[in-house]
Amino acid sequence: MSVLHTLLWFLIAIGVLVVVHEFGHYVAARLAGVKVLRFSVGFGKPLVSRRVGADRTEWSIAALPFGGYVKMLDEREGEVHSAEVHRAFNRASVWRRIGIVVAGPAANFLLAVVIYSALFLHGVPALRPLIGEPPADTPAALAGLVAGDEIVAVNGSATPSLQDLRLALLRAGVGGTRANLTLASGREVDMEWPRVDTENLERDTLRPLGIVRHDPPLAPVIGEVLPDGAAARAGLAEGDRLLAADGQAVESWQHWVKLIRAHPSTPMRIEFLRDGHRGEVTLVPDAVEADGERIGRIGAGPQIDDALRASLMTELRYPPLAAFGQGIAKTWEMSVFTLEMMGRMLLGQVSWKNLSGPLTIADYAGQSATLGWISFVGFLALVSVSLGVLNLLPIPLLDGGHLMYYVAEVFTGRPVSERTMEIGSRIGMALLLLLMSFALFNDFQRLLGG
């Protein structure tokens, strides 16, 4: 996956999220009777700008596309004509100012609800929550779980897919609690749940607990081939049966994946069978970062017959009203999980190494776009939730910091002093720089394979 591809999809993702967030502020300001002077996507010198409407609001795209802002009429930022004083932000009632501030994060949550609802209405393919054979002496094995068990709920929370199962188990594991598992057969299992390793939650933290994906042996036959992947560049095609890699016989698709993962950016001599004829190509797996290590990937999936696919896959699809309800529930669930993980970081229960910065987000944007539109818009929804939660934190300079000032004003009956806000801004800037430094350090650690 090229740097240009990653950068392009990262900018698309950031552009969508910023426009939605700032448009929330814009709409709320207009409804509150506050004049908007500028709506900018990006910071710095405007590259493109246009004035629209009776208020001549300037809509612009600036040179630095990593953010955006809405500039409102405000006596604290410049002289305001007497005829427009009543439309200044600082003259609006405290409740209107609260509404304007909250509208940005609310727009991010609304975007997530819309995306999740649309996905559930369209239908989201997902792996069923089936588990493989738990390794001996792990909590899952000691609880009596066996290969093929389908876990449909954890502590009463439904797990319709493997992804939902992993999230529910992760929450239970981070909390260090017992987990009550409900199986599709109706049997309930209580599992002792020691704390999971939180050093890097991107890794398969559940494997040491015995929760592994059900992975029946698959024939080493190529199914879908991504057009820009290493397999396509080498000339491999759908239906090719893989025979050997560097002279080593390929026993199954799982064996093939292990071979590819172990050879990032390394030329491999591949023997295959196509339409009854043997062929040979040189394949160079792309090097990618996954689970904290550098692995090979070729951009191809296995060929799975319909019967096996039906036994492994499910589709999360709901009628319109139910899909909307599921969209709200999913947004709430991810918001609570994000806030919970942030809280556990502060308490030292989850490592700060899990904090991701722009480089990791850009990488995920590119990877999700490669996997298809469902994956990319799902990524957008997840980041939109994170952005909404982050902006509501009571840190000066963020929406939550302003909200903190206005809530204080509601209780005291007078605005927070300029001096207090100045001190708060300095503290907020220091906190944000510290968080960004942590995030960028973690990004470089991941890139360097640390």
Q: Which residues are catalytic?
A: 22
Copy the structure tokens of residue 362: 């850009």
Distance in angstroms (rounded) separating the CA atoms of residues 438 and 342: 14
Distance in angstroms (rounded) separating the CA atoms of residues 312 and 380: 26
Give, as one character, the DSSP assignment of residue 291. Answer: T
- Residues 346-360 as b or e (16 or more Cβ within 10 Å = b): eeeebeebebbbebb
3-state secondary structure 372-392: CHHHHHHHHHHHHHHHHHHHC
Alpha helices in 143-194 (DSSP H): 162-174
Q: Where are the beta strands (DSSP E) in 284-326?
A: 286-290, 293-297, 300-302, 313-316
Counted residue by residue, the chain has a size of 450
Angle of helix 418-447 versus helix 358-371 axis, rounded to 10: 60
**Enclosing H/E stretch for 20:** helix 3-31
Give, as one character, the DSSP assignment of residue 354. Answer: G
Distance in angstroms (rounded) separating the CA atoms of residues 222 and 303: 5
Distance in angstroms (rounded) separating the CA atoms of residues 59 and 36: 10
Distance in angstroms (rounded) separating the CA atoms of residues 39 and 141: 57
350, 174 contact by CB (below 8 A): yes
375 Rama sector, left if φ>0, alpha if ψ -120 to 50, beta otherwise: alpha
38 beta partners:
58, 71
Give, as one character, the DSSP assignment of residue 353. Answer: G
Copy the structure tokens of residue 32: 């509150």
Copy the structure tokens of residue 40: 């900018």
Residue 310's nearest CA partner among 85, 130, 63, 117 is: 130
Residue 28's nearest CA partner among 137, 101, 119 is: 101
* Torsion of the alpha carbons at 59, 62, 64 and 65, rounded to the nearest 10: 40
